Structure formats: C-alpha cells, structure tokens
Amino acid sequence: MFSIHTINQNFIKSMNLKISKLAYHYLIPAISVGLFLIPPLLVEASQTKHEDAYELWHHHIIKHHLVATISFVGVIVLGSMVYTRKRSQTIYLVDFACYRPPSHLQASSEIYYKGIKLVYSSNESSVEFQRKILERSGLGEETCLPEGLHATPPNRSLEFTRKETEQVMFGALDDLFSGTNVKPQDIGILVVNCSLFNPTPSLSDVIINKYKLQSDIKSYNLGGMGCSAGVIAVDLAKGLLHVHQNTCAIVLSTENLTLRAYFGDNKSMMVTNCLFRVGGAAILLSNRNQYKRQAKYKLVHIIRTHHGSDDEAYNCVHQFEDDAGKLGVSLSKTLMPVAGLALKTNITTLGPLVLPLREQLRFLITMVTKKIFKNLKTKSYVPDFKLAFEHFCIHAGGRGIINEMEKNLKLSPTHVEASRMTLHRFGNTSSSSIWYELAYIEAKGRMHKNDRVWQIALGSGFKRNSAVWVALKNVKPSSLRDSNKGNPWEDCIHKYPMKIGV
C-alpha cells in the first residue's frame, strides 16, 4: 500500500519537474539570445580606444545606457519567448459529440432480467445476485445494450462486435463533423481508445477508411487501458499537437460490450454486466489560432498517476478466464480503497497547479506534520477544490465511486449531479462517461466563460487521471442552440435532475 512518504515524494518530484521545465523553456532561450548578442558587443568594444572607453564610462554615458539597453532587450526577449511559447502551446477543444444509442437498444430492468434468466437458466443465485446489483447500481430504465446482447440467445460473434463499435464511432463522428466546419480531410491526428476490442485492421484504420482521411495522418490505437483511457488519449493528442503545428486532432473514446459480456458464475465478473452500457464520444482538438473563437474550451492541465507497481492496485480490475474457461473482467473488493489512494496521489500533484496559495499551504503543513509526527493521529487535510473549479466531471463508474468522490472531495450534490444523472441515463460508458457529463452541464446552460472544469477518470492498472479545461465562452443550453447534434441530452434534459437513490 502507498504511504504518506510516497505521496510526499510525488509532490516534491512534480514541483521540481515543473520548475525545471519552466527554466528550460523560458530562461534557456532568453540566455541563448543574450549570448548571441555578446559577440557583436565585443567586436564593437575591440574597435574603441581605451582612453575613449574610460572617458565614456567615467561620465556614466555607457554605464547607464548599456545597463538600461541590456535590461530592456532582456525583458522584451523573455516576454516574447513566454508569449510565443504559450500561444503555440494552446490546445483548443473545438467541440465534441457523444453517441446517442437508438431507443430500440434500451435495456430496461425487465428486458435485462429476461436476458440473464435465459443465460443463467440453471443458476438462480446468479440471477438474484445481478438483480440486486442492478437495483443498487444507480442505472435507470433507458440505458442501452448492443444488438448482439439483445439477440436470443445473445450473439457475441465478431460480426456483432464490429457492428456495435462501428455504430458508436460513426454515430459520434458524423455528429461531430456536421456540427463543426471541420472536414475529415482536415484531420492530421487520430487517437482511438477501446480497452477490450482491438481488431485487425485497427479501429483507427476503420475510421480512416470510412472517412477517407489523408494518407499522412498520424493515427494511434490505445487498448487495455480501462476507463481512464479517454484522458490518456487526450494527453497523447496534446503531445502530438505540440509537435505538429497548425493541425487538427480527433480523439475517439469508446468501449465494446458485446465482447465484454460475461456469462459465467464468478460474481466479481458479473458486476460489469450490470454497470456497463453502450456509449462513445468524439472530441475535436486543434492548435490552430483560427479556432480560438469557435472553440468551447482550452486545455490547461493533464495529470496522470499510475499505481501499477503495487500488486493490490494492479489486480483490482483484471481480465482473466474463470474456472470454467469463460473470459471476463473482475472488479475486486479492494477497488474503492485503491481508488481513494490513487485520488490522494493525483490531487497532490494537481493541487499546486490549481489551488489558491492558502489551500496549498494548509495541505502542505498537514502533510509535513503527519510525516514528522508519525504517531500523531490527525486527519489528512483535503484541499477545497471548489475554490479551483466550477464543474466536476467524475467518471460514472458506479454509485459507490460517485459517493466516495463526493465524500472525499467534500462536494455538494450539485457538483456530482452530472455524474449521477449520466450513470442513471446512460450507465457506465467507460472512458467516454466524462464527456456525457460535460454535455449534461452544457445542456443545462451552466457553462459560462472562464468556468473551470475538472474531468476525473480512473481505470485498470491502476490509473487515476485528471484533465483541466477552461471555458472560452458561454455555452448555450440545448433549448437555445441552432443545432443540438452531438449532445445526447437534447430531448430529455428537461427531466433532469431527477431524484434517485444514492
């Protein structure tokens, strides 16, 4: 398990790394320019007589003007370096679209029970177990399952597996392209993440073929990275946009349920059947300044923490075959404690970047006190992140996860409303859930210019990732937009929030 010493080391390392980066990016270029100016000054000085130089210096002519000139040039150079670098590093979130499954794929409690009774006809205890999990899950009656799982009996063939993923990807991308003035041929970078389904050709290849993307596109496929992969995909796109200027990137986040479905008797694997539902999101990013006015947000920070070196964390979400040889994903009982520790490490790194100085000092003092006085029973101080963010998009992994995050971060019901309602309406859509939540906030008309958004994702490995965005404009609620394409809440936002069991 992770100790406070580990957390403290992560904090120190993150701060040292940040200072080093700032020094490298800003001071080194300025010093280089200064060194470039030295040779001409030396040449000029060598052509001046000693007596004249002494006379000028004695009368303070050179002394004052030289110091003033060098200082002025230094300030201008340093300022221009900072401005140019920050401007070139700005990553804009132009727009995004979430897939809205058709109504015929809805899996109400009645439909779900009918399906599992068919699969588990000889095992009533498995049926009862899943019924109880579903009742406590926080999912509503309109979440959707793919066509293959609606079939009688369920069809998990490659054909239905491909069909599910293509419907989600193409549905989200069609809405994204129709809702923006960006054409498929404008895309220079493509990052697709799907944890469990990685066919050949790859999912990124499928998209390139469908939309006839350019031949020199930089395409990537992320697999096996769990529900936190959406933020990882954005981080990869960000890095590529820093290298490839004046281009656009698409991040496509989804998961495949046809392949994920588990029909064995291991109860830790049955839980995923009850929580996961169809979903996906397409996100358009760009470093082009021309999109500054059109873009909704700009990316401020991405913080990634990984706890895979700890065996308990590594094994808490795991895919393997049960005793009968049936493949499934197991969710361990240690998931919640592991997620809590991962949160502490993540906020230790994120806090200094976003919190007011007062909150940083209180957090640091508490952390140092616990380190020095190990026997002193004092609670760890959790900074007030409500001072740093207006909106929270917490991965809708399940009712327990949302409750735990609300408690640990001392949030109000309003702060976790988007997460609860997303879980209720769409279920756990894996890496795309944080985008359904952002769409909910927009549909409610709560997103205003300069609002700060914290997307919090967690997934197998064990990983806890954060993305911080700042709104560049007021986002109109769904009812006032010219087009609602891409917002999955367009025709039902008026029903939310609704009272559900917590």
Kindly list the catalytic residues: 227, 306, 391, 395, 424, 428
Structure tokens at 24: 């490298």
CA distances for 231 relative to 89, 114, 236, 240, 252, angstroms:
18, 36, 9, 14, 11
Return d(Cα 286, Cα 295) in angstroms, integer.
Answer: 9
| Three-class HEC string of 175-187 | HHHHHCCCCHHHE
Instruction: Tell me how many degrees the CA angle 300-306-309 measures, rounded to the nearest 5.
Output: 165
| Three-class HEC string of 333-351 | CCHHHHHHHHHHHHHHHHH
CA distances for 188 relative to 18, 194, 219, 380, angstroms:
29, 20, 8, 45
Return d(Cα 44, Cα 55) in angstroms, integer.
Answer: 16
- The dihedral through the CA atoms of 322, 324, 325, 326 has a sign that is negative
Name which of 64, 149, 157 is nearest 105 in CA terms: 149
Return d(Cα 114, Cα 417) in angstroms, integer.
Answer: 31
Residue type, 372: I
Return d(Cα 230, Cα 473) in angstroms, integer.
Answer: 24
Return d(Cα 83, Cα 89) in angstroms, integer.
Answer: 10
